[in-house]
Structure 1
C-alpha cells in the first residue's frame, strides 16, 4: 500500500495538477519546521504564522480554480437552457436524447470537479493532523476556528462546496424534466412523473454527500457499524470484492448478528426473577447480564484475529459455544445452581462473533453495496434488540418434560439453543469461505520504534515541544523523503499489532469520541439492565409489561435514524448534533432521578425514552465522526477501529452491570439514584471534553 501523497498524485486529473493542494511541499515544510525548532532557529509563533499563510495560499489557489470551473459549467448550462427553451416552443422529439446527453456530459465534468474538491478536502485534513501530531500544537483547533467561521471563509468553499449546489440542481432538474417528457414533448402532464433514473446524477449526489457530510437514512445507519474504509480506495478493490462476495454468506453474517442481539436481551426482563429463584438477590441480575459482556471483551480480540485467516470456522465455533452456553443457562434452574447460570452466560459471551460479522462486510462485500450491508448489520442489531425482550414477554408458561422445567426463566435459554442449532446446520451447508489469497498480509514483527506520544497535544499551544525525534516521527508519518519519493515506510503500511499500539494511534479528539461511546453505552446498559428491578420495586410491573417497555424502546431505533439520517443531519453539522445529543442524554439522566416527589410511571417512561433516543442519535453521529478522524492504519488488521469501539462499549456494559450489582447492597430503594449518579458524572465529563475538542471535529 502506498502513502497518501502518492495515492493523491495517482488520482489527480492530469490537466488540473497545478491546482491541487501541494501536499508533498507542505509535508516537507513540516519536516523543515521540526529541524529548525530542534536547532532553535525559529519560535512557535513564526511556525504557526508561516504555516497558516502557506495553507491560506493553497486554499485560495484551489478556490479560485473552483470558481473558474463553476463559471464554465454555468455558461454551458445557460446555452443548454436556451436549447431546452427552444425545444419547448418547437418540440422536436429527435433532439431529446441529444440534449439529455449534453446535460449528462456537463454532469460528468461536474463530477470531476467534485472529486477534485474531495481530494483537496482530504489533503487538508491530512496535513492538519500531521502538523498537530508532529508538534503537539492544537493548530487544527486554531485554524478551523479562525477560518471556517469567518464570513469570507475560503475553507468553507472547500469543505462545503459553496456554489456548486446550484449547478447540481440545474443538471438534476433538467434531466428529470427531459425524462418526464420523453413520451410526448407537448405537456408535462402526458405521463406520470417518474423518479429520476440517471447514474451520473446518482454519482454526483454521492460525491456531494461525501463532501458536505450530508447523508440519508441508509448512509447514516451504515455509519453505526463503524466499518473503516480507506479514504482513497485502489481501482482494483472493487474487482477483488466481487470475487469474494457471496450473498448467502452475507445473509448468514447478518443472521448471526440478529441472533446474538436477541440472545443478549432476551434474558433482561426475567434475569432478576431467575436470580431470586436460585437463592440470589434480585440485583445479581447485573452480574448475570454482564457476564456475557465480560467474556465478549476477550472473544472480540480472538475472533478478530481469527478472521484474518477464516470466516467460516469462527462462525461454526461461535454457534457451538452459544448452543452450549444457552443450554447451561436453561439447565441452571433444575440444577439449582447460580454458578451454572453464570458460566452459561460466559459461554454466550465467548461466542460473540460480531468482530467477524463486521470484518466480513469490510473485506468481502463490494463497495457498491457495502453501505447497504453495513446498514443491514445495524438494522439486524436493532431488530434483535427489540425482538429479544418481546420474545421473553411471550414465553410466559410453566410445564415439565422428563424432569426438565420449561418456564419464563428457562425458556429463553432453550429457545436460543434451538435457534443456534438451526443456524449451525444452515451455516455448515450454505456458508462459502471466501478466498484469502488477495488479502493484505502483515509482518509478524513489531516496528523497531513506535512514535512516542505525550500529553502536549492536549495542552494546546502552551508547549511548543516536538513529540519525538525526527527519525521516530518519520516512521510515524510513514513517508520517506530522502529520495524525493512518496513511498510509505514499512511501519506505516502495517496495521496495529496490539491494543496498546492501536491506542497510541489515537488523537485527543478520537479519545474523546471513544469516551462518548463509553458514556452512551454505560447509560443505556444501566437503563435496560435494571429496568426489571426498578419497575417491579416502584410500579409492580409484570415480566410482560417490562418486556413490552423494552421492546418499544428497541423499536424506536430505526424511526429515529430515519428522521436524523434524512433530515437532521442535512440541516446541522455532525459536531453540532453530537454536542446537542450529549446534552439531551444528560437531561434524560437528570429527569430519571428519584428526588422529593413520589416516583411515577410517566416520569420513568419519559426520562427513559429521552435517554435512549438521544443516545441512539449520539451513537450514529459519534461513529460517523470517529470513522473520519481515526487513523487509516486502524482500517485494517486485528486491532482495527471497529474492535476499539466494540471494546469501549463492552467495557462500559461490564462496568454498568457491575455497578447495578454493587448498588444493590445499598437496598432497592437507593438502587436507582446510586446507578444514575455515575452516568451523570461520565456524561458531564464527556460534554466538557467535547467542548475542548469541538473545533478538531471537522
Structure 2
C-alpha cells in the first residue's frame, strides 16, 4: 500500500513541485513536535504556535503561486479577447475554430490549476487531522477559526478558490459567443439554455463543484447512502464493469424498498393490534422497536457476510422476513403477543441494508455509482411513504380456514407474500458478482494518472497551445534528503492511520473516530430518535387526542413520507449551494429543536393544527439534517472506514438503529405514567438530546471546514 504522502507526491505536476503545500515537511514537523512534548509538556504552546507559522508559510506560498497563475490566465484571455473582437465583423470559420481551440487550451490550463488546488486542499486537511490525532487537541478548530474567518484570509483561497469563477465565466461566455457566431449574438447571461455546453467548460464546472462541495439534487441524494470514497482513491472500472449487472442492482434496490415498507406498514395499526392481544396500546413501541433491536445485530453479520457473497445474504434475508411476517400475522389467531414480538424480531434479523449499501459500493462502476446511490436512497424514502399508504388500503375483515384477515394481520400477510415473490425473482434473476477482494489489490496498485473525485482531472492533461509556457520562471526543485527517516515515519504513521486496509473490529473502528465524527454520529442518533418518537407514537397520540382511525393515521404518515424527495430537491439544488453545509446543519438542528418544542402539550385542548404543523416541521427538519449530516460525515470520516465489515455505513446504521431502539423503549416506558403524560414524557428526552447536539456542533463547528 502506497502511503498517503508518497501518493500525493506522485500525483503532483512536476513542473509545479515547489509550489505545493509540503506535506512531507509538515509530517516531519509533527514527528519533531511529538519528541519535544515527550521531553517537556511546557513545549505544547510553542508547538501550536510554531506549527501555525509553518502552515501559514506553506499556504502563503501556494496562494501567491495561485494568484500568479490566475493573472497569467487572465492575460491570455485578454489577448484572445482582442482577437475575438477582430473576428466579430468577419465570418472566417477556420479562424473561429482556431480561436475556440485557443480558449479551450486556456481551459485545460485552468483545469491543471484546479487540480493543483485540490491536491493542496486534501493535503492540508490530512495534516490537520494528523496533528489533532497525534496531540489529542482541537488544533484544526483553532486554526480554521483564526485563519478562515479573518478578513485577509489566505486559507479561503485554497478551499474557496476566490477569483477562479470569473475566469470560468469569461471562458464560458466567449466559447458560447463563438459557437453562436454564425447564428446570433445572444449572450449566455441573457438566455443560457440556448448555448450548448462546451466539454471543457463542463469539466471545469465539475472540478469547481468538487472543490466547493457544490452539489446538485442527484449528488445530494446520493450522499444519503454514505458510500464512502477515499479522496485519493484510484478506482479501476474495468473490473467493476465485469461485476455490474443491472437486474441485480434493481433487485438490490427492491430489497431496500420492501424492507422500508415492512418497517412502516405496521405503524398505523400497531397500537390496535397490541390492544386486541390484551396488551396496552403503548406496547406498540416495543412491537415497532423489536425490529430495530434485532437489526443492531443483523447489520454486523450481514456486513461481514457481504465480504464473501451478495446473493446468499439476500436469499437468507428474504426467507427470514417471510417467516417473520407470517408469525406476525398468525399472532392474532394464536392470541399471543409473544408471537407478535418474535415475528418482528425475525423481520429485524432479516435487515440486509448493509448488503444493499455494500453491493453499490463494490459492484457498480464509479460513473454509475452516484445514480445507484440515488436509487438506493429513493427506494428507502419511497418505501417509507408507501408503508403507511398500503396500510390504509387494508381495512377489511374476513376469515379463511380459521385464519383471520383484518387491518391488523393483513400487513403481515401482504409482506410475507411480497417477500416470497421477491425471493423467487431473486433466485431467477440475480447474478452473483465476483468477490470484491479478488480485485481490491489491483485497484490499490494504481497510483499514476489518477482521477480526483468526480471532476475527471488527470495528471496527463493536454498541454496548452498558447505560444508562451505556463510558467514564466524556473521552479527550484526541493531536495529529498532524509528519505530513509521519512520512509520510516511513513510506515509508523501512515500504515496505521491513512492506508486503505479495512478495520477488523468495532474497537479499531472506534479508535478512528475523531471528535468531529463522533459529533456527527451523535447528531444522526438524535435525528433518528426524534423521527422515531414522532412516527412510532403517532397512532397512540392521535387516537387519544383526536380519535383518529388507523386509516387517518396511515394517510398522515404517508403524507409525511412524501415530503422526503421534494425537501431534498430544494436542499440539494439550492440551499446546499447558497450556504455551507455546516451552516445548514446547525440551522436544521435549531429548526428541529423548535419543532419538538412546539409539539409539547402546553395548551389544553391539544389541537390538530398544532400537532400536524409541529410534526411536519420536526420531520422536514430531520430530513434536511440527515442529508447534510451524512454528507459531512463522509468528509470527516477516515478512508479506512470506506469498506470492510466495520465501515462508515455500518456505523451510521448502528447509530440510527440504536436511536430507534431507545426511542421505542421510551414510548413503552412513558406509557406507565398514563396516556395524558405520554406525549410530554417522550418529547422531553428528544429536546434534551437535541440541545446537546446543538452544543456539540458549536464546539466542532470550525473542524467541519
TM-score for the superposition, normalised by structure 2:
0.90
- Give the aligned partner of residue 455 of structure 1: none
Q: How many residues align?
A: 659
Mapped pair 1:584 → 2:583 = no
- Higher mean C-alpha deviation, range 600-609 or range 13-22: 13-22
- Give the aligned partner of residue 368 of structure 1: 367
Mapped pair 1:53 → 2:59 = no
- Give the aligned partner of residue 380 of structure 2: 381
- Give the aligned partner of residue 495 of structure 2: 489
- List runs of 5+ in structure 2 lacking aligned partners: 443-482
State the Cα distance separating 1:74 from its structure 2 match.
Answer: 1.5
Mapped pair 1:8 → 2:14 = no
Assess if the C-alpha contact under 8 Å between 1:581 and 1:614 holds in 2: yes
Alpha-carbon separation, structure 2, partners of 1:481 and 1:489: 15
- Give the aligned partner of residue 280 of structure 2: 281
Assess if the C-alpha contact under 8 Å between 1:480 and 1:489 holds in 2: no
- Higher mean C-alpha deviation, range 625-634 or range 106-115: 106-115
- Give the aligned partner of residue 73 of structure 2: 73
State the Cα distance separating 1:360 from its structure 2 match.
Answer: 1.0
Alpha-carbon separation, structure 2, partners of 1:35 and 1:105: 49
- Give the aligned partner of residue 247 of structure 1: 246
User: For residues 20 and 681 of structure 1, do their structure 2 counterparts lie closer, same or farther at Cα, with a shift above 3 Å needed?
Assistant: same
Alpha-carbon separation, structure 2, partners of 1:193 and 1:24: 46
- Give the aligned partner of residue 405 of structure 1: 404
SS of the residue aligned with 2:404?
strand
State the Cα distance separating 1:200 from its structure 2 match.
Answer: 2.5
Alpha-carbon separation, structure 2, partners of 1:480 and 1:390: 65
Assess if the C-alpha contact under 8 Å between 1:228 and 1:627 holds in 2: yes
**Residue deviations 1:399-421 (CA, integer Å, cap 9, x gap):** 22222221111111111111111
SS of the residue aligned with 2:399?
strand
Alpha-carbon separation, structure 2, partners of 1:245 and 1:545: 43
Assess if the C-alpha contact under 8 Å between 1:91 and 1:186 holds in 2: no
SS of the residue aligned with 1:400?
strand
- Give the aligned partner of residue 686 of structure 2: 679
**Residue deviations 1:57-95 (CA, integer Å, cap 9, x gap):** 100111111111111222222233233333332223344
- Give the aligned partner of residue 319 of structure 1: 318
Assess if the C-alpha contact under 8 Å between 2:265 and 2:387 holds in 1: yes
User: For residues 654 and 2 of structure 1, do their structure 2 counterparts lie closer, same or farther at Cα, with a shift above 3 Å needed?
Assistant: same
**Residue deviations 1:21-73 (CA, integer Å, cap 9, x gap):** 11011001100111122122961221111111110010011111111111122
Alpha-carbon separation, structure 1, partners of 2:274 and 2:195: 56
Alpha-carbon separation, structure 2, partners of 1:518 and 1:187: 52
Mapped pair 1:232 → 2:238 = no
- Higher mean C-alpha deviation, range 133-142 or range 145-154: 133-142
Alpha-carbon separation, structure 1, partners of 2:246 and 2:94: 43
Assess if the C-alpha contact under 8 Å between 2:284 and 2:668 holds in 1: yes
**Residue deviations 1:276-316 (CA, integer Å, cap 9, x gap):** 11111111110111011001000100000001111111111
- Give the aligned partner of residue 535 of structure 2: 528
Alpha-carbon separation, structure 1, partners of 2:111 and 2:340: 58
- Give the aligned partner of residue 473 of structure 1: none
User: For residues 335 and 32 of structure 1, do their structure 2 counterparts lie closer, same or farther at Cα, with a shift above 3 Å needed?
Assistant: same
Alpha-carbon separation, structure 1, partners of 2:73 and 2:486: 42
SS of the residue aligned with 1:438?
helix
Alpha-carbon separation, structure 2, partners of 1:188 and 1:37: 61
Mapped pair 1:516 → 2:516 = no
Mapped pair 1:657 → 2:664 = yes
Alpha-carbon separation, structure 1, partners of 2:689 and 2:380: 25
Assess if the C-alpha contact under 8 Å between 1:88 and 1:185 holds in 2: no
State the Cα distance separating 1:377 from its structure 2 match.
Answer: 1.1
CA RMSD after TM alignment:
2.1
Assess if the C-alpha contact under 8 Å between 1:593 and 1:673 holds in 2: yes
User: For residues 544 and 95 of structure 1, do their structure 2 counterparts lie closer, same or farther at Cα, with a shift above 3 Å needed?
Assistant: farther
SS of the residue aligned with 2:338?
helix
- Give the aligned partner of residue 88 of structure 1: 88
- Give the aligned partner of residue 257 of structure 1: 256
Assess if the C-alpha contact under 8 Å between 1:499 and 1:639 holds in 2: yes
Mapped pair 1:20 → 2:29 = no
Mapped pair 1:594 → 2:601 = yes
- Equivalences for residues 62-461 of structure 1 within 5 A: 62-179=62-179, 181=180, 184=183, 193-194=193-194, 196-234=196-234, 236-436=235-435, 438-440=438-440
Alpha-carbon separation, structure 2, partners of 1:665 and 1:222: 42
User: For residues 403 and 194 of structure 1, do their structure 2 counterparts lie closer, same or farther at Cα, with a shift above 3 Å needed?
Assistant: farther
